[in-house]
């Protein structure tokens, strides 16, 4: 079992990797609050909210004209899982490779303490608050 410090370290690595990946691939999230949460975590590039009044297939079709790969980062509640599957099916049908590994890593590291992207900044802050500074060894 990972300590809070190890979980924080791994989550920060996932967020850093996600930020790097967003320079190449768009990140598909459910809504505006998710966009804001990622912005609070420093991910400001290429984040797309799917809640724009278009169907999932239309979103996938229009994005497939510009992108060969996308990152799906939906919530991990029941609805988010359904949306992730529908997005994956729609993108694959349009010849787009779907990366859902970031979502999977965050789900594992959050250990069911949170269930959505918008809760991620607060969760990371709580982990940071529990981080105990390592003692300095004096010589």
- The string of pLDDT tens digits covering residues 29-86 is 999 999 999 999 999 999 999 977 889 999 999 999 999 999 999 999 999 999 999 9
What are the tokens at 66?
């510009």
What are the b/e assignments for 66-90, b being 16+ CB within 10 Å? Answer: ebeebbbbbbbeeebeebbebbbeb
CATH 3.40.47.10 fits 4-121, yes or no: no
Reported as a pLDDT band with limits 50, 70 and 90, residue 139 is very low
Residue with tokens 């996932």: 14
DSSP code of residue 5: H
Residue with tokens 């990797």: 17
Report the phi/psi class of residue 130: left, alpha or beta, with left for phi > 0 and alpha for psi in -120 to 50. alpha
**pLDDT over threshold 60, residue 107:** yes
């Amino acid at each position: 079992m990972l300590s809070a410090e190890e979980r924080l370290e791994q989550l920060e690595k996932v967020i850093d990797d996600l930020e790097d990946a967003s320079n190449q691939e768009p990140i598909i999230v459910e809504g505006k609050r998710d966009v804001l949460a990622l912005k609070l975590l420093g991910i400001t590039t290429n984040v797309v909210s799917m809640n724009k009044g278009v169907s999932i297939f239309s979103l996938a079709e229009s994005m497939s004209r510009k992108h060969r790969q996308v990152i799906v980062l939906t919530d991990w509640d029941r609805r988010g899982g359904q949306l992730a599957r529908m997005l994956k099916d729609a993108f694959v049908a349009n010849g787009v490779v779907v990366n859902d590994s970031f979502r999977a890593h965050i789900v594992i590291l959050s250990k069911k303490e949170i269930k959505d992207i918008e809760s991620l900044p607060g969760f990371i802050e709580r982990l940071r608050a529990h981080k105990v500074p390592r003692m300095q060894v004096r010589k």
